[in-house]
Structure 1
Amino acid sequence: MPDSVSSLYIGLMSGTSLDGVDGVLASFTPGSDSISATLAAAYVPFPEHLRADLMALQAAGPNEIEREALAANALAVHYADCVAQLLRQTGRNAADIRMVGVHGQTIRHRPELGFTRQTNNPALLAELCNIDVAADFRSRDVAAGGQGAPLVPAFHRALFGDDRQSRVVVNIGGIANVSILPAGAGQATYGFDTGPGNALMDAWIKLHRGQHYDADGDWGASGKVHEGLLARLRDENFFRLAPPKSSGRDLFHMDWLQAALQKTGEAVAPADVQATLAMLTAGTIADAIAAHAPDAQQVYVCGGGAENRFLMRLLQQALQGRAGVQSTAALGIAPNQVEALAFAWLARRFDLRLPGNLPAVTGARGLRVLGALYPA
């Protein structure tokens, strides 16, 4: 790419938690995929009706095609709003931006059946923003036999890898995943989904307290871990699978939790369930680190889970002193900006026609250029 072409990219991410859109405007070193600066960040919350529509699309229902199309249109409007906020913050206009990278909203993830579905209308986003849009990053990896997820380990290596220190980056969104970054640039990077992150905790507090998330983990911290329920939850076969592996709401949903509650044979106080769900997330992440990164010296957490002090404390305890736990803020990147930055980086990789996946992570047959272009 000639250096005269803009090196400004926008990344947009709306995750499994269904809370809203995180966006960043990043500049890249000309001719490379190295981020030189994050110039702005913005957040656009989803209205309640859109949350409900997207949640309903997680399972089969009537008139799905039309409902998905309408939700995709609404998403594009919110994505465009986020782009507009980033431009206003920086005094830029559409002509200054090379490309927008947008993940879309995952409504089904079934790589074992050969597909993953991130609903989106990138054509409408390109029309609204008048900026080229790169989207649908996961499908090419799935077409090559991969899981299509997680895609962030390659980015985590580029942003957080260290020649002297073995690190693990844990993204705790609706689903949790780990990126294992051994010391040294030549060492293999890999990662995988570990299981539920915030999705079950968010759904449980919404059911019982009408809140979208457990602020600071205070409600969970008020309860006690129910060992019988925890054992039931941990008996899920997904936790025993060897990587590569990925998951989503297709497996970890409220019916799954309710089935485990019924099998405990006794009533469990709602706050105790919340504490147990936090322990499930922390424990399964710690298990993954112990099994696959036993020499990790530091664990850095991003995503909404980094704001849950109770969950962070449980993770530190579950690691039993094997590594320290901090948010990615310690490395200069706010936890809620990391995933959006990843999709700015993936858009840059797509633009340079460089691969965006890691076959060791996803199980794909090889490196692939990820994404599809929707020109302005």
Structure 2
Amino acid sequence: MALYLGVMSGTSLDGLDIALVEQGEQLELLATLYLPMPASLRQDLLALCSSGPDEIARAALAENHWATLAAEGIRQLLAPGISVVADFRRRDVAAGGQGAPLVPAFHETLFSHLGQRVAILNVGGFSNLSLIERDAPVHGFDCGPGNVLLDAWVERKRGQAYDADGAWAATGVVQADLLHALMSDPFFAGSGPKSTGREVFNLPWLDRHLAGLPAYRDEDVQATLLELTARSIIDSLENAQQGTEALLVCGGGARNGALMARLGQLLPTARVTSTSAHGVDPDWVEAMAFAWLAHCCLEGIAANRPSVTAARGLRILGAIYPA
């Protein structure tokens, strides 16, 4: 038996998720810790999502701040110093891959026993799908914005970090013209492998679309952004995998009742549930994935999937920093 820690901040940048797991015949979640992201670090990381002066120096300082925060959390779960595995994306990129998403192989490990056609959906700042079919390589890709635009809009208009349970979005009316304009972005037309981030989908991107349209109520924009998230997910799923039997949702979006309800309406032929219905807390799936990636690196197991990232072949991911 071996213990591994997974540390994940994700594109929402609200905090660090740290998961302590035991890797035996099965992966068992032993303990968890959440550390809120300091406001100064969050602003530094957000600023680095667009070009600006002194980027290398600012990135190094932000990296050190992030590492210090992670170390503080790790010490609360484990006392001794430990070896660190990091930088999981670089070897996939060197092999011609996109370096993302990295979690489909882990999703396959956890959930491949559930049915003939299963989809695992992570909704963090961005949404990504893992498509699992019996006797076929796992497939996966980013769908587009998850919570990133919803969070940004509610913060701008109401001073809130997020729209709890999608309650504010539920008071608005989806605006068809705005939705059509947003969905016309070229990213949504691609079938994958594909990945995206804040450098593409952000408030300036939304503002450019709003500038050419009539003024909408703030809650109507929020409702339309929630519809954008749901539609981009289901459109991507139906284009890539026909006859999905179950859609399992993890990440912060699994706590958004309005989003979960809309996903169920758009995919009535499948069971749409949180991963908690299958014994895995949706808040910790991604942190657990990085603990698993560390295990794979140390054991010499390839953890990328060319069918997901378009890399030229399987690669052992990660760089090892001994204790």
Normalising by the smaller structure, the TM-score range is: over 0.9
The residue that corresponds to 2:67 in the other structure is 76
Q: Deviations over 1:119-147 (max 9, x none)?
A: xxxxxxxxxxx211110101110110001
Q: Which runs of 5+ in 1 are unaligned?
A: 1-5, 88-92, 95-129
The residue that corresponds to 1:134 in the other structure is 85
CA contact (8 A) 1:176 1:195 kept: yes
Separation of aligned partners in 2, 1:207 and 1:308? 19
The residue that corresponds to 2:229 in the other structure is 281
> Shift in Å at residue 311 of structure 1?
0.9
Is 1:313 aligned with 2:308?
A: no
CA contact (8 A) 2:17 2:35 kept: yes
Q: Aligned letter for 1:262?
A: A
The residue that corresponds to 2:23 in the other structure is 28
CA contact (8 A) 1:24 1:86 kept: no
Secondary structure at 1:38 match in 2: strand
Deviates more, 1:48-57 or 1:172-181: 48-57
The residue that corresponds to 2:13 in the other structure is 18
The residue that corresponds to 2:181 in the other structure is 232
Change (3 A) 1:230 1:323: same
Q: Aligned letter for 2:225?
A: L
- Map 1:107-256; keep pairs closer than 5 Å: 130-162=81-113, 164-182=115-133, 184=134, 186-256=135-205
> Shift in Å at residue 163 of structure 1?
5.9
Equivalent residue pairs, number? 323
The residue that corresponds to 1:127 in the other structure is none
Q: Deviations over 1:307-356 (max 9, x none)?
A: 1111111111122x121211111111111100000000000000011111
Separation of aligned partners in 2, 1:291 and 1:242? 8
The residue that corresponds to 1:336 in the other structure is 283
CA contact (8 A) 1:175 1:196 kept: yes
The residue that corresponds to 2:309 in the other structure is 362
Separation of aligned partners in 1, 2:147 and 2:27? 31
CA contact (8 A) 2:115 2:245 kept: no
> Shift in Å at residue 187 of structure 1?
2.5
CA contact (8 A) 1:44 1:81 kept: no
Separation of aligned partners in 2, 1:312 and 1:164? 21
Separation of aligned partners in 2, 1:75 and 1:295? 42
Secondary structure at 1:259 match in 2: helix
Change (3 A) 1:241 1:9: same
Separation of aligned partners in 2, 1:292 and 1:335? 23
Question: What TM-score, normalized by structure 2, do the two folds share?
Answer: 0.97
> Shift in Å at residue 54 of structure 1?
1.0
Q: Aligned letter for 2:32?
A: A
Q: Deviations over 1:162-182 (max 9, x none)?
A: 264421000001110000011
> Shift in Å at residue 70 of structure 1?
1.4
> Shift in Å at residue 86 of structure 1?
2.2
The residue that corresponds to 2:212 in the other structure is 263
Equivalent of residue 37 in structure 1, options 28, 33, 38: 28
Runs of 4+ in 1 over 6 A off after TM superposition: none
Q: Aligned letter for 2:38?
A: P
Is 1:53 aligned with 2:1?
A: no
Q: Aligned letter for 2:221?
A: V
Q: Deviations over 1:288-321 (max 9, x none)?
A: 11111221111000011111111111111122x1
Is 1:371 aligned with 2:307?
A: no
Is 1:324 aligned with 2:232?
A: no
Change (3 A) 1:311 1:164: closer
Change (3 A) 1:163 1:20: closer
CA contact (8 A) 2:12 2:148 kept: yes
CA contact (8 A) 2:191 2:236 kept: no
Secondary structure at 1:39 match in 2: strand
CA contact (8 A) 2:92 2:311 kept: yes
**Taking every aligned residue pair, what percent have the same amino acid on both sides?**
50
Secondary structure at 2:167 match in 1: helix
Identify which of structures 1 and 2 has the higher relative contact order when contacts are C-alpha pairs closer than 8 Å and 6+ apart.
2
Q: Aligned letter for 2:319?
A: A
The residue that corresponds to 2:243 in the other structure is 295
CA contact (8 A) 1:10 1:344 kept: yes
> Shift in Å at residue 206 of structure 1?
0.9
